[in-house]
Amino acid sequence: MFEDTIAAIATPLGEGGLAVVRLSGARSLEIADGCFRASGRGVVPSQAASHTLLYGHVTRDGRNVDEVLLAVMRAPRTYTREDVVEISCHGGLLPARAVLDAVLAGGARLALPGEFTQRAFLNGRLDLAQAEAVADLIHSRTELAMRAASEQLAGGLSRRINALRDDLMAILAHIEAHIDFPDEDIAPDTRGRLTGRLDRGVAFMDELLKTATEGRILRRGVRAAIVGRPNAGKSSLLNQLLGQDRAIVSKTPGTTRDTIEETANIRGVPVMFIDTAGLREAQDDIEVEGVRRSREALGRAEIVLHVLDASEPLMPADTSCLAEFAAKPRVVVLNKSDLVRQLDLAVAGDVRAVPVCCLSGDGIEALKDAIKDLVWAGRVESEMLEVMINSRHQDALNRARESTLRTAEALRSEEPLDLVAVDLHAAVNAVGEVVGKTTTEDLLDSIFSQFCIGK
């Protein structure tokens, strides 16, 4: 399959100033020759020097399709390490599609999702962790998430993983050398040094595994449910946090009949806020369904913003709600702080309470700080951004850690070295999975199928 020349629209579909159609493969320049006509005395793409731009028209069946700039990039100094042609045409779905159809008619195949990056991996341009960082960079929703993806793309995680794998490989080579020469048993001091190196490897894996939660938060964000009784100010709070009037605000109880979900950047963390229907005895079938959906959303939420009306005494519905969500991480939001307070602050207990006025926006910045503090166990250091692992890395490192622990214990117990080597082989393979030195076709299909077409 990878001997084919592939093509795809590499820019988002829709109206815009420009669109880019990308080709990669051995026949890229040949296909470009067949559908591109340079203006004036311009050369054909196959005769152009690498990393040059040509001006002309894409043609099909003898007629001009679009006026374009065509970039020639010869292997290996390209994204995929294959010959690459990128055609910049007018933006919009129809011009880009017409140019793509012209190159497909010339012999290219439509690229699969992520196939350009998959070729970059298979051709050694990127390792697997860096390839995943490309997708993270594209999908990043905050500057902090973008920085973390950029660090991983630059090889921050890969360097650490490769160093760990190299050390485990060196220990494995030492053990296998003694398997080949059984008359020369490992000396006690050497055995001690090897187990010490294995223990340091486990400690290093533990440090990487600690970043999994932060990595998940930056990549996926967190879900924060806004709860409270009707008219406490939930929809007004959502609008303040988003900086726009997203939810309808009314003095009539039960205005919000369905959940409203919107994502905002809160101190570098993507937070999906879920405005829920007021949790009360529903007055009609529509509100019954709204309350049901609210409770379903609450079950999926990682944190809760519990809105109380500070201008009124605590109501039974407030008490019930406080008890119901006591197990979830939460912030108590004391709304209507501009009015005379009737609510005893003791109702929040040891949960952080933040006074706000959803009418004026007072206290919203302090609430954002409270949300950030609730999400992060500690401050994200710049060194952590280089190595924030994802769930796939976490699974591989957990397996590597268990195998390494068994290896160290087997060495201490002076078990047969061939049994020791089995566990250490498993550890080396698991660590290699992170950067793609140990892969399966199913794993690659799973990773690259999540990319967009054209990347």
pLDDT of residue 98: 95
Q: Identity (one letter) of the amino acid at 293?
A: R
Considering the domain architecture, whether residues 230 and 365 belong to the same structural domain is answered as yes
Decide which of 375, 408, 427 is a domain's last residue. Answer: 375
Which of 243, 280, 234 minimizes the C-alpha distance to 263?
243
pLDDT of residue 108: 95
Considering the domain architecture, whether residues 309 and 355 belong to the same structural domain is answered as yes
Considering the domain architecture, whether residues 228 and 328 belong to the same structural domain is answered as yes
Decide which of 83, 111, 139 is a domain's last residue. Answer: 111
| pLDDT of 338 over the 90 cut | no
Cα within 13 Å of Cα(36), Cβ side: 31
Q: pLDDT band at residue 366, thresholds of 50, 70 and 90?
A: very high
Considering the domain architecture, whether residues 363 and 411 belong to the same structural domain is answered as no
Considering the domain architecture, whether residues 61 and 182 belong to the same structural domain is answered as no
Domain membership of residue 409 as a residue range: 130-211+387-448
Considering the domain architecture, whether residues 348 and 246 belong to the same structural domain is answered as yes
What pLDDT digit, counting tens, does each position of 231-275 carry?
A: 788 888 888 888 866 554 445 444 444 567 888 888 888 888 888
CA–CA separation, 284 vs 254, rounded Å?
A: 10
Considering the domain architecture, whether residues 238 and 355 belong to the same structural domain is answered as yes
Decide which of 354, 375, 396 is a domain's last residue. Answer: 375
Query: 3-state SS string over 93-128?
Result: HHHHHHHHHHHHHCCCEECCCCHHHHHHHHCCCCCH
Which of 6, 40, 42 minimizes the C-alpha distance to 22?
6
Higher pLDDT: 1 or 194? It is 194
Considering the domain architecture, whether residues 293 and 179 belong to the same structural domain is answered as no
- Report if residue 41 sits inside a domain: yes
Stretch 306-325: mean pLDDT, rounded?
Answer: 81
CA–CA separation, 104 vs 109, rounded Å?
A: 6
Find the CATH number of the domain harbouring 190.
Answer: 1.20.120.430
Q: pLDDT band at residue 365, thresholds of 50, 70 and 90?
A: very high
Stretch 399-413: mean pLDDT, rounded?
Answer: 94
- Report if residue 118 sits inside a domain: no
- Report if residue 454 sits inside a domain: no
| pLDDT of 62 over the 70 cut | yes
Count: domains in the chain? 3
Which of 134, 146, 156, 31 minimizes the C-alpha distance to 79?
134
Place of tokens 């201490």: 412
- Report if residue 163 sits inside a domain: yes
Stretch 30-42: mean pLDDT, rounded?
Answer: 91
Higher pLDDT: 397 or 443? It is 397
Find the CATH number of the domain harbouring 54.
Answer: 3.30.1360.120
Lowest mean pLDDT among 149-163, 184-198, 375-389: 375-389
Q: Taking the mean position of all CA atoms in its chain, how far away is CA 61?
A: 43
Stretch 212-239: mean pLDDT, rounded?
Answer: 83
pTM of the model: 0.77
The vertex-228 CA angle with 255 and 314, nearest 5°, equals 120
CA–CA separation, 231 vs 417, rounded Å?
A: 70
Considering the domain architecture, whether residues 237 and 345 belong to the same structural domain is answered as yes
Lowest mean pLDDT among 6-10, 72-76, 140-144, 223-227: 140-144
CA–CA separation, 229 vs 246, rounded Å?
A: 19
CA–CA separation, 426 vs 397, rounded Å?
A: 11
Decide if 82 contacts 75 (C-beta within 8 A): yes
Stretch 366-392: mean pLDDT, rounded?
Answer: 77
Mean pLDDT (the chain) is: 85
Q: pLDDT band at residue 20, thresholds of 50, 70 and 90?
A: very high
CA–CA separation, 361 vs 93, rounded Å?
A: 41
Stretch 54-69: mean pLDDT, rounded?
Answer: 94
Considering the domain architecture, whether residues 89 and 20 belong to the same structural domain is answered as yes
Considering the domain architecture, whether residues 331 and 193 belong to the same structural domain is answered as no
- Report if residue 134 sits inside a domain: yes
Stretch 35-56: mean pLDDT, rounded?
Answer: 92
CA–CA separation, 208 vs 306, rounded Å?
A: 34
Instruction: Say how many C-beta atoms besides its own lie within 10 A of residue 392's C-beta.
Output: 16
Cis peptide before 270 (omega within 30 of 0): no
**Which DSSP string corresponds to 339-360?**
SPP-S-GGGGTTS-EEE--TTT
Considering the domain architecture, whether residues 329 and 226 belong to the same structural domain is answered as yes
pLDDT of residue 259: 67
Q: Residue 341 is encoded by which pair of tokens? A: 């307070």
337 to 224, 266, 313: CA distances (angstroms) = 22, 22, 13
| pLDDT of 54 over the 80 cut | yes
Which of 170, 175, 163, 162 minimizes the C-alpha distance to 422?
175
Q: pLDDT band at residue 327, thresholds of 50, 70 and 90?
A: confident
- Report if residue 216 sits inside a domain: no
**Residues 6+ positions from 122 with CB-CB distance below 8 Å:** 2
36 burial via Cβ count (<10 Å: 0-12, 13-18, 19+): buried
- Report if residue 122 sits inside a domain: no
- Report if residue 107 sits inside a domain: yes
Decide if 436 contacts 129 (C-beta within 8 A): yes
Place of tokens 């040094």: 193
Q: Taking the mean position of all CA atoms in its chain, how far away is CA 118?
A: 17
pLDDT of residue 248: 47
Q: Residue 124 is encoded by which pair of tokens? A: 């050694």
Stretch 279-284: mean pLDDT, rounded?
Answer: 52
Which of 370, 361, 348 minimizes the C-alpha distance to 237?
361
